[in-house]
Each structure stands twice: as C-alpha cells, then as structure tokens.
C-alpha cells in the first residue's frame, strides 16, 4: 500500500468478516484546523430521487493520526462534524449494510463484492476536487483456487490502489470483485470495451462470437453517429440474478446491468440485455458528458432538479433501441416491438392528461421510481413518454428537411449538444431554449405549429397524448399506428385496473371519470361478489331482487368476465374497502368511450417507394 499523497483522500473497502452482507469502510483525510464536516451522499446520479443511504450506515467512529478517538457530532441525517484540534489526519471507520443486488447499489458476499461507491463513501465539500485513492480488500473473498479479479474502470491495481482525479470520478466508478468473473473484450472505433459478467452461465463459443459481433457493431454505430467517444475505454459490468429483474445504471467509463433470471440471459433475455446495454452506453454522451443547466456539477447532499429528463432519459431511451436496428442487431419489425412496449406504457398511464414532461421530470424527485407510492395516473414517465416524444421530434425534423440538400435529423441536434456542451461539468449546461434555438436555425417549424416554441409548449410543457400525433406522421415513414381495444373487458369498458391474482379480486386503480371511478371503486377495494345483468332495459333481469345480497355466480369466473363481458352488460358488484366497509355499485359501460386502448406501430405493407426510403434512412437499413 502506498503512503497517501498530500491532499489525497484514501478509501479502503472490504468485507466485514464478522457481519454477513456488511462492508468495512475506512476513509483517511489530511486535515487542518480544529474541525471537519463530512457527509454521505443522499442520491445517486442516474436515479433522480432522494435516497437515504445512511440507513445502511453502522458504527461510525473517528480517530486521529495516533489512533486516538475523536469526538463526532451528527448535524443532519447524512452529515457529521468531527473535532480534531492539533490533528493532521482524520481516519473514519464504519460498516455499510450492503444487501441490495441490483445495478445501482452494493452487495457484500464472500463470492461477490459489488460496490457502487456513491452509496457508501463519505465526502467533504471542501476536498471534492482533490484526488482520491481506493484500496479494495479482496482477502476476505472466498479462497477459491481461481484468482480474484476486480472489474473496475479506474486506473490502478490491487497493490497500489485505484486512483481517481476527484470524488466525482471515484463515486462514478462502481466495481465488482470475485473469483467467478468472466469477461469478453473487443474494440470499436479504437475504443477498448470489456464485458464483465458475474452470476450468468458461460456463453458458448457461438454466443460469445455473436455478443462480440453485435456489441461491437452497436458501439461502432453510436461512436460514428456522435463522431467520437468521450473515453478511450469502457466497461460493461453484467450482473445475473436468479429471479426476474431488469436494471441498468450509467457511468462515464462503465455501466452496471442487472438482469434475471440469469439462465435466460443468452436466450429469452438477450434482446433486453442488448437494449439496456445500448441505452447505458449512449448515456456516456447524454448526461455523463453533456448535461442540462443546474446539473453541470453533481451535488450529493440533496435534490438536483431538472426539467430536461426528456433529453437525458427520453432521448437516451429512443436512441438505445434505434442504435440496435441501425447496427443490425434488430430487424425493423423487432425494433417496432420495442417501441410498442413504450406505447403500451403510454396508453396504460392516464397521467398524460395531467402533467407535461417538464413537470414530470422535476417530479421524479417527488414520486421516486415506484408507481405505487403516489397518486395513480399522476404524471408521465420521462423514459416512456420522453422516448415517444423523441421519436416524434426525430420524424418531424426528418420530414421538414427531407428535400433539403442536407437533410437533418435528431442526430444533428444531439451532436450539437455534445460538441457544444461537452466541457461539462466546467461550463454551463444546455436548456430547453438551446434545443429550440438550434431547431429555429436549422429546421422549418412543422405545419400546424406556429413555430418551434409552440411545438415545445404543446409537446413538452403541456400534458400531451402523443398517439394521435404519431398516427399522423408515421405514414410518411412507411409505418402506421394501429389501435385496438384492450382485450381485458374490465379495463376496456370500465377503466378499471384490477389485480386478479387473489381469491378476492383487488382494485389497483380506476381511470378518473371512468364508470369504475364514478362507481366509487378505489385502490385496495376487494370484490366480494359480482353479477352480470345483460341488458339494462330488459324487463326480466337476471337478478330480480336487487335488495338481496349477491351470490357469486360460479359460471362467471373472473377470467370469462374479463373476456366475454358485452358492451351493453351491466356489472353489479359488492366490495369491501380497505377499512372493512361493505359497499355495492353498478358499472355500466359508456355508449362509446373505451379505456386503455392499445396502440401499435407496424410496417405499412402498402408503403410507396418514397416512404420506404424515408423509413430506411430513419432506421439506417436498406
């Protein structure tokens, strides 16, 4: 181990041998004066929500250079002040409960130590720009006959440690250490890539060849589109989990991808893996290299709002899949299946009538990433809705400039953002006006909009349901938007989302103003019994005495109810609220309005040559 350099913060992380799933962390700082204030981050870049990592912190102590204990005083949830008059060194020791095996957190096990350091490494506001050294203690990992390997994007080695220019780079560099890592490597456009794998079956030789060929092509297409790569190497850290799972987190020189069940990674889940890998790689430019105003330099102590999640997540979600078809990893109809998954999320979320993308971007900090904690149908997703808006914007730019000597696309706008704002975090970030000004200069505003400001007001500021706008523009690109009724008649006719996986079907939520909403069915209400009345005007209804408590009709089980309910049928339900009150009501379909319609984009088989050419240019095929 090297002696610390002046002003260098030295971090040492290993497993706690006495406490399963705990890391042992030491931080060494050179100090002056009488006291030092330090903190643990309260969010991690890539997940725009408040996170109290301090919940995992155990037994924090402080010592000076002679090993004498120093007095610690906690001042905020994640902030402490330590008194150290006359000391030159401050050594913190603590344990961190590492029990969250996903793509963004930490997991401590003798087989596999996996650490996203932003969760567990303390920082000082006054020394964040100073160099850091990281020692990873691998002695407590399982003493397998195989050598321990460390997958990390920082430069260095296990003896001297790994170095980072500053705290930002340190905590942007997750790692995993294990005797059971596999790896594949290749170069694309002169950049070295490594795919590290843990917990996944070894791909056979044909699969290895396919992975290298496709990931190489995907990275090459991205680099060629953007012009160059911000780094000279990049690491994919793939974590296989035994259960269904999907998660990816971006970093500047690496990404962590967590997927499961791991047995399916090289077959059923492979397309998902390609998709998340492509998405996270594109973040190397979009958010890790150019950032919106207000996020130029990360602060870790609290909320970092931005209205522009539709650029850093929406554009990225759009390009993640688009690069797969452009690089030949997906066929055009396979690509449209990916787009259609976002259209499904769009039509399932009535929040599109409440808040636009700008407000929804701020509100990731309010709702977090869980749909269950906040009001149902409250806002839209910067990922799904941002992706569909990016698709529309790309097509609009392409259509407006189709006959120009040099047609433009969203690629040109992204390249502009990258070239103009790459010097982040030192310079100011882009704003929505940056996008609007570029478009005003290069692209005529599309018909039906006064100007580009009007376009952004309608598409990004106001609530906006994108499906009809896509339906209008897709035929110009040899595609069509097809809308079909939801097969689940309870959703389609009553606007009601149920959880049927229980003896008593439970309401998840009702679309505001739908027949279910008007009948008073709310989240958590459990259906006790139900009956169908086939015709509201019929003189001899199935249930002659409406006063009688209803008896469940065994012939109308919930599955046939969802499949076979007619558009003129009336459903009578008895239910119990979460507080145990019994209620009853009648659900009657609206004469014409249907809910949860499903949209799909398809290739138009009758498309003309002009439209097919436009589609091929957009998808980079043909």
User: Cα separations (Å) of 32 from 37, 82, 87, 456, 622?
Assistant: 12, 12, 7, 51, 65
> Closer to Zn ion at the Cβ: 369 or 500?
369
CB of 171 to Zn ion, least distance (A): 18
CB of 286 to Zn ion, least distance (A): 9
CB of 273 to Zn ion, least distance (A): 15
Whether a cis peptide bond, with omega within 30° of 0, leads into 257 is: no
Binding mask 248-267 for Zn ion (x = CB under 5 A): --------------------
CB of 10 to Zn ion, least distance (A): 32
Whether a cis peptide bond, with omega within 30° of 0, leads into 90 is: no
* Mode of pairing for the β-strands spanning 57-63 and 89-97: antiparallel
CB of 280 to Zn ion, least distance (A): 7
CB of 314 to Zn ion, least distance (A): 9
CB of 316 to Zn ion, least distance (A): 5
The DSSP annotation for 170-191 comes to HHT--EEEESS-EEEEEEETTE
**Nearest-angstrom CA–CA distance, 423 and 290:** 7
> Closer to Zn ion at the Cβ: 16 or 250?
250
Reading the block at residue 173, the tokens are 């560099």
**Nearest-angstrom CA–CA distance, 620 and 622:** 7
Total residues in contact with Zn ion, by rule CB under 5 A? 2
CB of 250 to Zn ion, least distance (A): 6
User: Cα separations (Å) of 327 from 323, 564, 619?
Assistant: 6, 44, 9
> Closer to Zn ion at the Cβ: 94 or 310?
310
CB of 272 to Zn ion, least distance (A): 14
Residue 472's Cβ-count burial label (10 Å; 0-12, 13-18, 19+) is exposed
Which region, left, alpha or beta, applies to residue 596 given φ > 0 means left and ψ of -120 to 50 means alpha? Answer: left
**Nearest-angstrom CA–CA distance, 257 and 259:** 7
> Closer to Zn ion at the Cβ: 319 or 596?
319
The C-alpha torsion from 457 through 454 and 443 to 230, rounded to 10°, is -20
Q: What are phi and psi of 411, to 5 degrees?
A: -55, -40
CB of 517 to Zn ion, least distance (A): 33
CB of 151 to Zn ion, least distance (A): 21
Please enumerate in sequence order all residues whose Cβ is within 8 A of that of 140, keeping only pairs 6 or more positions apart, or say none.
Answer: 14, 15, 17, 110
> Closer to Zn ion at the Cβ: 102 or 488?
102
* Mode of pairing for the β-strands spanning 479-484 and 598-603: antiparallel
> Closer to Zn ion at the Cβ: 8 or 394?
394
Give the torsion sign (CA, 301, 303, 308, 314): positive
CB of 108 to Zn ion, least distance (A): 26
The DSSP annotation for 568-603 comes to T-EEEEEEE-TTS-EEEEEE---SS--SS-EEEEEE
Please enumerate in sequence order all residues whose Cβ is within 8 A of that of 495, keeping only pairs 6 or more positions apart, or say none.
Answer: 510, 511, 513, 514, 515, 516, 517, 595, 596
**Nearest-angstrom CA–CA distance, 122 and 124:** 7
Which candidate, 496, 576, 511, 521, places its Cα nearest to that of 375? 511
> Closer to Zn ion at the Cβ: 313 or 338?
313
CB of 414 to Zn ion, least distance (A): 15
> Can you state the percent helix, strand and coil of the chain, rounding each to 5?
30, 25, 45
> Closer to Zn ion at the Cβ: 226 or 496?
226
For Cα atoms 537, 539, 540, give the angle at the middle one, nearest 5 degrees. 120
**Near Zn ion in 328-357, by CB under 5 A:** none
**Near Zn ion in 281-320, by CB under 5 A:** 313, 316
The DSSP annotation for 415-480 comes to HHHHHHHTTTTSSPPB-HHHHHHHHHHHSPPPTTSSSHHHHHIIIIIS---THHHHHHHGGGGTEE
CB of 317 to Zn ion, least distance (A): 7
> Closer to Zn ion at the Cβ: 281 or 587?
281
**Near Zn ion in 147-166, by CB under 5 A:** none
CB of 90 to Zn ion, least distance (A): 36
> Closer to Zn ion at the Cβ: 84 or 235?
235
CB of 375 to Zn ion, least distance (A): 24
**Nearest-angstrom CA–CA distance, 24 and 128:** 22
Reading the block at residue 245, the tokens are 């799972």
First to last CA, the chain: 56
Which candidate, 14, 3, 13, places its Cα nearest to that of 65? 3
| Binding footprint of Zn ion on the chain (CB under 5 A) | 313, 316
């Amino acid at each position: 181990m090297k002696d610390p350099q002046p002003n260098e913060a030295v971090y040492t992380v290993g497993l706690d041998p006495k406490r399963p799933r705990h890391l042992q962390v030491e931080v060494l700082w050179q100090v002056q004066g009488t006291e030092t204030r330090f903190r643990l981050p309260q969010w991690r870049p890539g997940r725009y929500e408040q996170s109290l990592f301090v919940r995992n912190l155990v037994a924090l102590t402080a010592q000076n250079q002679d090993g004498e204990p120093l007095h610690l005083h906690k001042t905020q949830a994640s902030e402490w002040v330590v008194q150290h008059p006359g000391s030159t060194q401050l050594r913190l020791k603590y344990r961190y409960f590492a029990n969250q095996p996903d793509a963004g957190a930490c997991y401590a096990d003798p087989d596999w130590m996996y650490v996203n350091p932003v969760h567990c490494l303390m920082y000082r506001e006054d020394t964040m720009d100073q160099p850091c050294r990281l020692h990873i203690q691998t002695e407590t990992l399982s003493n397998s006959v195989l050598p321990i390997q460390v997958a990390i994007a920082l430069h260095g080695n296990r003896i001297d440690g790994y170095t980072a220019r500053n705290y930002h780079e340190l905590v942007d560099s997750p790692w995993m250490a294990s005797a059971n890592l596999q790896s594949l490597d290749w170069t694309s456009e002169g950049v070295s890539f490594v795919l590290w794998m843990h917990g996944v079956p070894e791909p056979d030789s044909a699969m290895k060849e396919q992975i290298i060929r496709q990931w190489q092509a995907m990275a090459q297409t991205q680099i060629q589109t953007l012009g160059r790569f911000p780094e000279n190497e990049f690491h994919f850290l793939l974590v296989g989990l035994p259960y269904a799972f999907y998660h990816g987190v971006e970093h500047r020189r690496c990404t962590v991808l967590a997927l499961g069940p791991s047995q399916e990674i090289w077959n059923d889940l492979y397309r998902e893996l390609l998709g998340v890998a492509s998405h996270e790689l594109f973040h190397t430019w979009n958010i890790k290299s150019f950032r919106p105003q207000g996020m130029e330099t990360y602060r870790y102590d609290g909320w970092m709002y931005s209205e522009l999640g539709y650029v850093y997540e929406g554009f990225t979600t759009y390009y993640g899949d688009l690069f797969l078809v452009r690089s030949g990893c997906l066929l055009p109809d396979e690509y449209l299946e990916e787009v259609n998954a976002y259209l499904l999320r769009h039509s399932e979320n009535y929040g599109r009538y409440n808040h636009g993308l700008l407000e929804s971007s701020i509100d990731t900090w309010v709702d977090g990433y869980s749909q269950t904690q906040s009001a149902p149908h409250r806002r839209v997703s910067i990922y799904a809705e941002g992706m569909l808006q990016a698709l529309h914007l790309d097509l609009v730019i392409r259509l407006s400039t189709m006959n120009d000597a040099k047609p433009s696309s969203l690629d040109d706008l992204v390249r502009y953002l990258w070239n103009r704002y790459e010097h982040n975090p030192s310079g100011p970030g882009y704003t929505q006006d940056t996008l609007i000004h570029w478009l005003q200069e290069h692209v005529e505003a599309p018909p039906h909009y006064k100007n580009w400001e009007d376009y952004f007001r309608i598409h990004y500021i106001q609530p906006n349901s994108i499906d009809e706008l896509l339906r209008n523009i897709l035929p110009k690109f040899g595609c069509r938007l097809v809308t079909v009724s939801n097969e689940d008649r309870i959703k389609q006719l009553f606007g009601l989302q149920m959880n049927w996986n229980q003896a008593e079907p439970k309401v998840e939520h009702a679309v505001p103003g739908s027949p279910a909403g008007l009948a008073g069915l709310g989240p958590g209400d459990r259906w006790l019994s139900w009956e169908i009345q086939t015709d509201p005007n019929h003189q001899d209804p199935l249930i002659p005495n409406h006063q009688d408590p209803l008896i469940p009709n065994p012939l109308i089980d919930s599955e046939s109810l969802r499949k076979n309910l007619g558009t003129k049928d009336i459903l009578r339900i008895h239910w119990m609220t979460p507080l145990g009150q019994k209620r009853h009501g009648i659900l009657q379909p609206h004469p014409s309005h249907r809910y949860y319609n499903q949209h799909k984009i398809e290739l138009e088989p009758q498309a003309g040559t002009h439209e097919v050419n436009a589609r091929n240019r957009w998808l980079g095929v043909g």
